[in-house]
């Protein structure tokens, strides 16, 4: 009950915001995920799901929200593509990007092998969603091929996550009524599992970065 009540409190505070401001904030966060690299800090689906929950309570229109999320995703990624096409090499020098160099190299390799399909699939992974448009531009992928794959991914991603929040919000009242110590215990287990997975991914990523740095040093010594 405590957890569900906290969620209700947060949603109540959001509902106090003007409708236009809610639309604007969601659009900005989704647009900025790739265009402004906000995705490194806050994955776009977080704001989309929350907005969907707010829509389930009648504060914003779900149809307008879906259209807005899809449009912001497509336009934001197109801006990210343009930035990558023009400033790709400089972007790789940004500290937050440089620390992910091993993952960046794997993403570039994925683009070379699968092209537009990789762009489409990247929409459903937080890290790739933030960097894929810029990398596609840097790799000189034809914009029309990028746009088609990105638009398809944006439509499916935007509508599905918005509706996920919408239907989850519809069940919030029931959750508040029936949440018990068992539910809270299950929530605790889920949190522990997610933290463990996050730490494991960080460890693997650090290991790959070390391998990449080692290979790079070896290459420089050979040269």
User: Average pLDDT of 127-156?
Assistant: 90
Six token digits for residue 58: 């009648």
- Asked if the model's pLDDT at residue 165 lies above 60, the reply is yes
Question: Highest mean pLDDT: which of 49-53, 91-95, 99-103?
Answer: 49-53
Cut 0.75: pTM above it: no
The Cβ-side half-sphere exposure at 106, using a 13 Å CA radius, reads 12
Name which residue leads in pLDDT, 36 or 212.
36
214 pLDDT band, cuts 50/70/90, is low
Tell me the C-alpha distance between 171 and 79, whole Å: 37
36 pLDDT band, cuts 50/70/90, is confident
pLDDT digits (tens, 9 = 90+) for 72-91: 999 999 999 999 888 877 77
User: Average pLDDT of 143-168?
Assistant: 91
pLDDT digits (tens, 9 = 90+) for 182-206: 444 554 565 567 567 767 766 776 6
Question: DSSP characters for the chain?
Answer: -HHHHHHHHHHHHHHTS-HHHHHHHHHHHHHHHHHS-GGGTS-HHHHHHHHHHHHHTTSS-HHHHHHHHHHHHHHHHHHHHHHHHHHHHHHTTSHHHHTTHHHHHHHHHHHHHHTHHHHHHHTTSHHHHHHHHHHHHHTT--HHHHHHHHHHHHHHHHHHHHHHHHHHHHTHHHHHHH--HHHHHHHHHHHHHHHHHHHHHHHHHHHHHHHHHHHHHHHHHH-
């Amino acid at each position: 009950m405590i957890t569900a009540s906290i969620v209700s409190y947060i949603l109540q505070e959001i509902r106090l915001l003007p409708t236009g401001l809610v639309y604007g904030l969601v659009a900005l966060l989704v647009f900025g995920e790739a265009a402004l690299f906000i995705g490194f800090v806050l994955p776009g689906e977080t704001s989309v799901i929350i907005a969907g929950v707010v829509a389930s309570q009648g504060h914003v229109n779900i149809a307008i929200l879906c259209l807005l999320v899809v449009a912001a995703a497509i336009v934001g990624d197109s801006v990210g593509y343009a930035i990558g096409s023009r400033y790709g090499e400089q972007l790789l020098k940004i500290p937050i990007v440089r620390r992910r160099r091993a993952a960046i190299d794997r993403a570039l390799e994925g683009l070379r092998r699968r092209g537009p399909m990789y762009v489409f699939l990247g929409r459903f992974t937080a890290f790739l969603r933030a960097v894929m448009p810029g990398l596609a531009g840097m790799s000189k992928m034809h914009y029309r091929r990028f746009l088609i794959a990105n638009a398809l991914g944006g439509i499916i991603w935007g509508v599905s996550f918005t509706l996920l929040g919408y239907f989850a919000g519809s069940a919030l009242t029931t959750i508040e009524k029936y949440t018990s110590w068992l539910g809270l215990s299950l929530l605790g287990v889920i949190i522990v599992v997610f933290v463990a997975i996050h730490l494991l991914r960080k460890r693997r990523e650090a290991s790959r970065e070390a391998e990449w740095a080692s290979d790079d040093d070896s290459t420089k010594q050979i040269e």
